[in-house]
Amino acid sequence: MSADRAVLHAALERGEEEDGNIEFKERLSRDVHLTDGRMESLVAQLRHRVLSGDGHATYVLGVTDAGGIAGISESAFSETMEVLSVVAEEAGAHVENVETWEVNDTSDAGVVGVATLSEGSMLNVDDDHIVVGTAGHVDHGKSTLVGSLVTGTADDGQGQTRGFLDVQPHEVERGLSADLSYAVYGFTDDDAVHLNNPHRKSDRARVVEESDRLVSFVDTVGHEPWLRTTIRGLVGQRLDYGLLVVAADDGPTKTTREHLGILLAMELPTVVAITKTDIVDTEAVETVERDVERLLRDVGRTPLRLERHGIDSAVEELSDSVVPIMRTSAVTMEGLGRLDAMFRQLPKTTADACGDFRMYIDRTYSVTGVGAVASGTVNSGSVEPGDSLQLGPMPDGSFKQVEVRSIEMHYHRVDRAEAGRIVGIALKGIRESEIERGMALLPAAADPTPVQSFEAEVMVLNHPTRIRDGYEPVVHLETASEAVVFHPEEGQLLPGSTGDAEIEFKFRPYLVEEGQRFVFREGQSKGVGTVTSIDI
Across all residues in the chain, what is the average pLDDT? 84
How many beta carbons lie within 10 A of that of residue 469, not counting itself? 15
Note whether 225 and 116 are within 8 A (CB): no
Q: Which CATH architecture best describes the domain 6-119?
A: 2-Layer Sandwich (3.30)
Per-residue pLDDT tens digits for 332-344:
999 999 999 999 9
Burial of 183 (0-12, 13-18, 19+ CB in 10 A): buried
Between 156-170, 218-232, 496-510, the lowest mean confidence (pLDDT) is in 218-232
Quote the pLDDT of residue 519. Answer: 85
Parallel, antiparallel or unpaired: strands 440-443 and 388-392: antiparallel
pLDDT band at 177 (very low <50, low <70, confident <90, very high): very low
Quote the pLDDT of residue 325. Answer: 97
Give the N- to C-terminal CA distance of the chain in Å, as an integer. 45
DSSP code string of 407-467: EEETTEEES-EETT-EEEEEEESS-GGG--TT-EEEETT-----BSEEEEEEEEEE-SS-E
Fold of 453-535: Elongation Factor Tu (Ef-tu); domain 3 (2.40.30)
Distance (Å, whole) CA 145 – CA 421: 22
Phi (first) and psi of residue 286, to 5 degrees: -65, -35
Residue 475 in this model has a pLDDT that exceeds 60: yes
Distance (Å, whole) CA 61 – CA 90: 19
Distance (Å, whole) CA 461 – CA 500: 15
Cα Rg of the chain, angstroms: 25
The H or E element containing residue 182 is strand 181-187
Matching fold, domains 128-345 and 453-535:
no
Angle ∠(239,203,138) on CA atoms, nearest 5:
45
Angle ∠(128,181,268) on CA atoms, nearest 5:
55
Per-residue pLDDT tens digits for 291-324:
999 999 998 999 999 989 999 999 999 998 999 9
Per-residue pLDDT tens digits for 241-275:
999 999 999 999 988 888 888 788 778 899 999 99
Of residues 416 and 361, the one with the higher pLDDT is 361
pLDDT band at 178 (very low <50, low <70, confident <90, very high): very low
Residue 101 in this model has a pLDDT that exceeds 50: yes
Quote the pLDDT of residue 383. Answer: 92
Fold of 358-443: Elongation Factor Tu (Ef-tu); domain 3 (2.40.30)
Per-residue pLDDT tens digits for 267-281:
889 999 999 999 999
Share of the chain above pLDDT 90, in %: 41
User: Considering the domain 128-345 in this protein, what is its CATH number?
Assistant: 3.40.50.300
Distance (Å, whole) CA 450 – CA 443: 15
Q: Highest mean pLDDT: which of 197-211, 347-361, 456-470, 490-504?
A: 490-504
Residue 437 in this model has a pLDDT that exceeds 80: yes
Residue 411 in this model has a pLDDT that exceeds 80: no
Between 62-76, 165-179, 268-282, 425-439, the lowest mean confidence (pLDDT) is in 165-179
Quote the pLDDT of residue 240. Answer: 87
Residue 412 in this model has a pLDDT that exceeds 50: yes
Residue 483 in this model has a pLDDT that exceeds 90: yes
Quote the pLDDT of residue 231. Answer: 59
Distance (Å, whole) CA 435 – CA 251: 41
Please state the domain extents for the chain. Answer: 6-119, 128-345, 358-443, 453-535
Note whether 213 and 129 are within 8 A (CB): yes
Note whether 412 and 366 are within 8 A (CB): no
Q: Side by side, which strands form the sheet with 192-193?
A: 192-193, 181-187, 213-219, 128-136, 241-247, 270-275, 322-327, 302-305
Quote the pLDDT of residue 107. Answer: 46
Question: Given CA atoms 124, 126, 264, 530 in this order, what sign does their dihedral have?
Answer: positive
Quote the pLDDT of residue 436. Answer: 94
Angle ∠(272,275,278) on CA atoms, nearest 5:
145
| Average pLDDT rounded to a whole number, residues 516-532 | 82
Per-residue pLDDT tens digits for 112-162:
989 888 887 665 554 578 888 888 888 898 889 999 999 999 998 887 877
Distance (Å, whole) CA 336 – CA 245: 13
